[in-house]
Amino acid sequence: MPMLRCAAVWCVAWSVLALAGAAPARGGHADGEVLLGAVVLRVVDGDSLWVRPSGGAPLRLRVSGVDAPEICQRHGREARDALATRLQGHKVRVTLQHKDTYDRWLARVDGPDGDVGAWLVGQGHAWSMRWQNNPGPYAVQESAARKARRGLFSESRPELPRDFRRRNGPCQAGGASHTGQPG
């Protein structure tokens, strides 16, 4: 009987742990959750923003699949201003993916005209996020922006944000892309 009791306790413990692992992430949101009608409160830089989901607290987001120039990098302010002009105060659809190292949600953001990541890259405000030999989800848009010499691709050799950060470190307070509260 003690062996059976131990097995029952063990099963309950594993069940609790499994349920805890399946629980929503910090802040009450879960990977894959779709937030309809979230309002863009503030655009921090070319790929980071704050939104307020309907009836919820503000969330920090990073647009998934893109890498925009750092705010203190060449074309950084232009990228931020373009995104702010397009989305500030507007309702968007947000599909949460997962949290990054700065505790922001990586998310697909759809604005009034569709996929914001595709628009950013297509207008030359960001690169398609690369990894290993993969050109990223917006390689077609990046190729078109390069050919048309739009935005940052009007330069002969625009510097990737990761290379800029490697050389200069992150932007300092007041311009850092991953800090700041919604306005």
pLDDT tens digits, 82-128: 999 999 999 999 999 999 998 899 999 999 999 999 999 999 999 99
Model confidence at 21: pLDDT above 50? no
**What pLDDT does residue 55 have?**
87
Which two three-digit tokens encode residue 153? 């691709």
- Strand 105-111 and strand 59-63: pairing? parallel
Q: What is the CATH number of the domain that holds 37?
A: 2.40.50.90
DSSP 3-state of 119:
helix
Which two three-digit tokens encode residue 23? 């629980």
Domain assignment present for residue 12? The answer is no
Q: What is the pLDDT of residues 38-82, one digit of tens each?
A: 999 999 999 999 999 998 999 999 999 999 999 999 999 999 999
Give residue 51's domain range.
28-168
Q: Which residues of 136-147 are buried (b: 16+ CB within 10 A; e: fewer)?
A: bbbeebbeebbe
Domain assignment present for residue 182? The answer is no
- pTM across the whole model: 0.80
CA–CA dist 97, 94 (Å, integer): 9
What's the total number of domains in the chain? Answer: 1
